[in-house]
Amino acid sequence: MAQLAPAAASSHGSLCKAHPGPRKKRPREMEPSMVSPSYDIKFQDLILFILEKKMGTTRRAFLMELARRKGFWVENELSESVTHLVAENNSGSDILEWLHFQNIKVSSQLELLDVSWLIDCMRAGKPVEMTEKHRLTVIRDHSDDPNAGSQKTISPAENYISQYACQRRTTLNNCNRIFTDAFDILAENFEFRENETSCLAFMRASSVLKSLPFTILSMKDTKGIPCLGDKAKSIIEDIIEDGESSEVKAVLNDERYQCFKLFTSVFGVGLKTSEKWFQMGFRTLSKIKSDKTLNFTNMQKAGFRYYEDLVSCVTREEAEAVSLMVKETVQTFLPDAFITITGGFRRGKKIGHDVDFLITSPGSTEQDEQQLLQNVINTWERKKLLLYYDLVESTFEKLKLPSRKVDALDHFQKCFLILKLHHQRVAGTKANQQEGKAWKAVRVDLIVCPYERRAFALLGWTGSRQFERDLRRYATHERKMILDNHALYDKTKRIFLKAETEEEIFAHLGLDYIDPWERNA
C-alpha cells in the first residue's frame, strides 16, 4: 500500500493579507504544489509516527517525506496501529504526558524513540537496530518484586505523574509532610531573598509530593517523579537517612529568615519593608512599634493594633459566621447576589489566615456593582463592625484583554477589610471572660466581578497558588491559550472562549475537571 506525503505549507503563510493585483488565488486542493506523490512501502512491519512537539512543522514534514522516500510507512495521525513513535528533544516522560493530553489510545508495545534512530535508518536506507541510546524510556524500580526484573520500562498506557499541578488531584491528605514542610521552608527562604527560580523549584517539588498517594520511604520511590531536581532529592535523602535536613535546620536558625518571617506576619508588611527594618537593625516587633522615627501605613497600623487576633488562625466556624454577615449585608443591596467563599476554605481547609468572598449578581447594573462595596462599608461602619478597610476600585473596563501579566492581581473591584466578629455569632465559641473581650478581629477580602466573568474569577480565587500557576502555565505551553481571572483566550483561533462554569474552562483546556477540594497543590 502507498502513503501520501503531507501537504507542504505555503512559505508566505498568513503574512500576505492582500495582493496588489486582481488575480485570485486558486483553491487549495487544486494547486499542483500541494499534490504529493505516492511511495512504495518496503518495511511492512514498522509503522512510524513522527511527533511534532518541540520539533516543529517544517522539520517534521521534511523527515516524513524523507522516510517515505526510503520506503518507510509513516502515518499522519497517531493510532493504535503505530509501532514506533519518533521524537526530538523529548524525554520518555514528556511523550507520556503528551499522549495523556491527547487522550489517544496506543499499543502497550509502542516503541518511544529519539530522532537519532530515524536518522541512522535514513543513512542505512533500512531500519537499524534500536539501542539504549535510541530508546526513550521511563524507568520504575521493581527490585522488591520477586516475579519481575530489577527494572521495567513503563508503557504509554500506564499511569504517570504530570509535571502540572492542574493534572494532579491533591487533597489535604499529605502522605509526605516531613518532606513538603522542608521544601516549603526552603521556598519561603528563597522568596524572602527574592530568588524566584529557586523558590519556584522547591514549590513545585513540594506540590508534586503533596499529590502522591504513597509515602516516600527510600530514594528508589522518587524515580519517575517530575519536578524533583538534584537539590530536592538531596534534601529527601538527608531526611530519609538522618530524620532531618541540615540545610533546612540552618535556614530555621538563620537570623534573617527569622526576622522576615516575623515582620511579614504583620498585616501590610511585605519584603521591601522587612528588608528595610532588618537593615536598620530591628529584630523584634516591640522595638519597631516603639520607634518614633518610623512612619507606618494605615494598613500596617491596623496590622499592629490587631496583631494577636490576625496571626491566630481563622476557624471554619468563624469563617461560616463571617459568611452570614457578608450575605446579610450584601443581599440588602443586591437581593439576587451570589456570594461564594473562596480560597482555602472552599478547598476544604478547616483553618486559614483570612476569608475571601466572590460576589456577583446576574441582575445588577454596572452602577450597582460599583456602589455595592461602599454601601457595605458604610453599613458595617454604622454598626461599629469595621476595624479597617482598603477599597480598590475596578479597572476592568480599562483592561486590555487578553492580559499577559499572568500573576498580577485581577482588575475587579475589591476590598481588604478587618471585621469585628462577635463570639456570640460563632457556633461553639464563648467570649474570653478573663480579658472581657467579646469579639475577634478577622481579615476578610471581598471581590466583585461581572456576572459573565464569574467562572474565571471563581477559578482564580479558589487557588491553591501553585495549582493556579500551573493551570496558567499549562494553558500557555500546552494549549497556546492565555488564562487569567478575567478570561480564556485562544491564541491560535484568536478568540475568547466563553464559560459559565469552572467545568467549561477545564473542558476548553482539554483537562479533566478537578474539584476544589483536590486543588490543594
Give the active site residues.
354, 356, 445
Could you tell me how many residues make up the chain?
A: 521
Closest by CA position to 160, among listed 80, 92, 68: 92
* Rounded distance between C-alpha atoms, residue 112 and residue 316, angstroms: 49
* Rounded distance between C-alpha atoms, residue 108 and residue 156, angstroms: 6
Half-sphere exposure at residue 252, Cβ-oriented, CA atoms within 13 angstroms: 11
Residue 8 near residue 59, CB atoms below 8 Å: no
* Rounded distance between C-alpha atoms, residue 276 and residue 219, angstroms: 42
Residue 64 near residue 5, CB atoms below 8 Å: yes
Half-sphere exposure at residue 155, Cβ-oriented, CA atoms within 13 angstroms: 10
3-state SS, 347-403, equals: CCCCEECCEEEEEECCCCCHHHHHHHHHHHHHHHHHCCCEEEEEEECCCHHHCCCCC
* Rounded distance between C-alpha atoms, residue 445 and residue 463, angstroms: 14
* Rounded distance between C-alpha atoms, residue 227 and residue 327, angstroms: 42
* Rounded distance between C-alpha atoms, residue 51 and residue 137, angstroms: 16
Query: Is-cis flag, bond preceding 312, omega within 30?
Result: no
Residue 440 near residue 428, CB atoms below 8 Å: no
Which residues on adjacent β-strands are paired with residue 305? none
DSSP letters, 236-254, are HHHHHHHSS-HHHHHHHT-
Which residues on adjacent β-strands are paired with residue 386? 419
DSSP letters, 264-283, are TTSTT--HHHHHHHHHTT--
C-alpha cell of residue 418:
478587618
